[in-house]
Amino acid sequence: MEKQAKIYITGHRGLVGSAVLRALQQQGFHNLVMRTSQELDLRIQADVDRFFEQEQPDYVFVVAGKVGGIMANSTYPAEFIYDNVMIAANVIHASYKCKVKKLLFTGSSCIYPKFARQPIKEDYLLDGKLEPTNDAYAIAKIAGIKMCQAYHRQYGVNFISAMPTNLYGINDNFDLQSSHVLPALIRKFHDAKQGNAPEVVLWGTGRPLREFLFVDDLADALLFLMEHYNDPEIINVGVGKEISIREVAELIRDIVGFQGKLVFDATKPDGTPRKLLDVSKIQQLGWQAKTPLVDGIRKTYAWFEATHRG
């Protein structure tokens, strides 16, 4: 990407979008285009088309979307599939019509089958049934992936797709009703510490294994892929290491400084039992994650403490 190129970041105030914005600014990109969801509703095709015709961006990062944890995905599946399908369809089609040089669409590791072989290779996509608690979100992301591939096949456009693993970091969502597991754990332990609670109760058994990527590492990877990857086939982005929910909960408890008891409610769902991405493809290109989990959690909690009072 040329330093003077016009770059559009969807969802620039969210977890991923804000990290991409920081990374671009740090690398000297200055011609950046952004709109809040109040200024531009990406679900409305006419508004998206008008925006693209006016701005004519050279590069597009599609990182906006409706996201959440098990509870949010289970409670609002219609919103998760509608919002994410419409965002992907409108932005990808407008990018094609306005001759965007390159587009990067971000999916999620939840696109893969629930019982996929581990670690999960890119070609395991659609190789089995999805996890029921987030299938609406996964299908929307798969639709975006397939749309990028179809437009590449039919029109020859350079639209690529990256699949990040579980993310966390600065500007994360810490709402207990809609957040992902790691920020939810930070919030639970923080609130318990502030309230001198005797225990913290967590969903599930604590046995599922997860991989966690600091969002600034993802942003670094996305810029790397914009520079070095031009294949329409999806590419995984992760750390290549996993940890149990129990272990990450204990790690967060220690970082937050909560002294009480940790209790797991096995009557609640665990979700996918294991989800580790095979990241050999991106590592062979020359990229790998830099931030150890403990350092990333410390940075995230420091930001949370600085921005969330009470």
The answer to whether 30 is annotated as binding is: no
The answer to whether 47 is annotated as binding is: no
Annotated catalytic residue within 8, 59, 96, 137 = 137
The answer to whether 13 is annotated as binding is: yes
The answer to whether 166 is annotated as binding is: yes
- Residue 137 designated active-site: yes
Phi, psi of 267 (to 5 degrees): -80, -15
- Measured CA to CA, the distance from residue 31 to residue 5 in angstroms comes to 6
The answer to whether 164 is annotated as binding is: yes
DSSP classification of residue 106: E
Q: Is 17 left (phi over 0), alpha (psi -120 to 50) or beta?
A: alpha
The answer to whether 141 is annotated as binding is: yes
Angle, helix 15-26 to helix 215-228, in steps of 10 degrees: 60
CA distances from 249 to 116, 217, 258, 296 (A): 25, 22, 11, 14
The answer to whether 270 is annotated as binding is: yes
The answer to whether 271 is annotated as binding is: no
- Measured CA to CA, the distance from residue 288 to residue 307 in angstroms comes to 30
The answer to whether 296 is annotated as binding is: no
Binding residues for NADP(+): 11-17, 141, 164-167, 180
Binding residues: 11-17, 141, 164-167, 180, 188, 203, 210, 270
Binding residues for substrate: 188, 203, 210, 270
Active site residues: 137
